[in-house]
Amino acid sequence: MTTKKVVIIGGSIAGLSAALVLASAIKGELSFELAIIEKGGKEADLYKADVYNVPLFKAGINGEEIIDSTKEQLQKLAKVNFIAGEVTEISGEKGNFMVNGTGFSEKADYVIVATGANACNIKGLESFVKPHTLMPKPGKICLEVGARNVIKDGIYAAGIVSGVTTMVACAMGSATESACAILSDIAGNVAVIHDFKGSR
């Protein structure tokens, strides 16, 4: 049995979407220990939106509803450790990261950074911060990523911090790509997770 610990920083739509994909991949010989660290305070851009343009979302759904229902869906697939706090530092390397913040210190094999476009003050990532050129407001940032959202080996960006256009569906797609990139890294080959009729 292979068990990988993934720490996700940011518990809005991108962080939850990445967790959902990884949780859905838990079966047979592969398991994940998932932790989502969220600093709270409703800074997430998602809390500022009423959403009418995402397929299958109820018209006009707001951020609280999206987060609550996605958490409910997630918890049906896996036990997730939700940690309240702000991440201030990532150190170490793939397979042996330490994610530190206010009152916690989490070990991780992989880290997903889903911190949005408002700021990224995490020690260890400073050199990757750059202006977010697809956001029409001043002061918005993203992180320099390579193929498949890799920031550096074992650390992935997800959502608008990866530089995608600021739309909920783009944030979800980016997060899904990062989760599948982790699945591929573990498999040593291209990996996706597809359910089919009656498979659960």
Query: Which residue number, 5 or 132, has a Cβ lying nearer to ligand FAD?
Result: 132
d(CA 3, CA 179): 15
Contact between residue 18 and residue 2 where contact means Cβ atoms under 8 Å apart: no
Instruction: Convert residues 84-123 into a mask of x (bound to ligand FAD by CB under 6 A) and - (unbound).
Output: --xx--------------------------xxx-----x-
Alpha helical stretches, state H, 33-122: 63-77
Bridge-based pairing of strands 96-101 and 104-108 is antiparallel
Per rule CB under 6 A, is residue 157 in the interface with ligand FAD?
no
Q: How far is the CB of 155 from ligand FAD (least distance, A)?
A: 14
Q: Site for ligand FAD (CB under 6 A): how many residues?
A: 32
Among residue numbers 2 through 21, which ones bind ligand FAD (CB under 6 A)? Answer: 9-15
Per rule CB under 6 A, is residue 27 in the interface with ligand FAD?
no
Closest CA to 164 of 50, 8, 25, 17: 17
Q: How far is the CB of 6 from ligand FAD (least distance, A)?
A: 15
d(CA 154, CA 126): 17
- For 112, residues 6+ apart whose C-beta sits below 8 A from its C-beta are 6, 7, 8, 9, 15, 18, 155, 156, 157, 158, 175, 178, 179, 182
Q: Which stretch binds ligand FAD (CB under 6 A): 35-43, 71-79, 148-156, 178-186?
A: 35-43
Q: How far is the CB of 187 from ligand FAD (least distance, A)?
A: 26
Query: Which residue number, 49 or 180, has a Cβ lying nearer to ligand FAD?
Result: 49
CA distances 50 to 94, 143, 168, 169, Å, are 38, 26, 11, 13
Site residues (vs ligand FAD, CB under 6 A): 9-15, 37-39, 43-46, 48-49, 51, 53-54, 86-87, 114-116, 122, 159-160, 166-169, 171
